Amino acid sequence: MGRDPEYLAFMRRRLAEAPAPGGGVEAARRVLAADLARSPRPPVETVRDLVVDGAAGPLPARLYRPAARGPAPVLVYFHGGGWVLGDVDSYDPVVRALAAASGVAWVSVGYRRPPEDPYPAAPDDAAAAVGWVAAHAAGLGLDPRRVGVAGDSAGGQIAAVAAGRLRAPGPARPVLQVLLYPALDLRRDPPRPPDPDG
């Protein structure tokens, strides 16, 4: 079975553009942001910056709401980035695509990251942010009875932890988890991605 030529070309470009080791966390954050900035940004009916309550103070967030009648279901989203990289701005193209494809509202939340804020800052922020969205849903045109959590990679793990913390019956209990390639089982290292040239 052959490999898709577009995928091979993409992988060759990625490997050629890989930054040199070193440069620190801030450099890695800039590289990821620049990489994601090249992604398409699908239109979404409403995109609105918010500030939500985290466990230790305010957090940046962004509401993406496709056109809908009445209160929309919502997923509170936590971005990937190896627990260290990424933020609401850099993941904007990703969440726009998710909102456009799903037809539900998304609230992307920027959580505290290491090394500045070590564990358990991120899951603490995630649980607090889900509670904030549930409490303020009606004022945002969202359905407070249909609040779920979502995340990709490290954000998938953070979303799963938040859902576990909020599992007791109550208004902040998520009704759904959408976990995109979540980091849930770290007992073994994953295999390296395939070399595009075999």
**Residue 71 belongs to domain with CATH number:** 3.40.50.1820
At residue 194, does pLDDT exceed 70? no
Examine residue 129 and state whether it is found in any structural domain, yes or no. Answer: yes
Structural domain harbouring 27: 5-180
Examine residue 121 and state whether it is found in any structural domain, yes or no. Answer: yes
Greater confidence (138 vs 17) lies with 138
Examine residue 190 and state whether it is found in any structural domain, yes or no. Answer: no
Distance CA 155, CA 78 (A): 5
Q: Which helix (H) or strand (E) holds 107?
A: strand 105-109
Distance CA 153, CA 145 (A): 26
For residue 126, what pLDDT is reported?
98
Examine residue 185 and state whether it is found in any structural domain, yes or no. Answer: no
How many structural domains is the chain composed of?
Answer: 1
Q: How many residues does the chain have?
A: 198
For residue 1, what pLDDT is reported?
42
Examine residue 97 and state whether it is found in any structural domain, yes or no. Answer: yes
Distance CA 133, CA 147 (A): 8
Question: How far is CA 60 from its chain centroid?
Answer: 13
pLDDT tens for each residue of 133-156: 999 999 999 999 999 999 999 999
At residue 182, does pLDDT exceed 80? yes
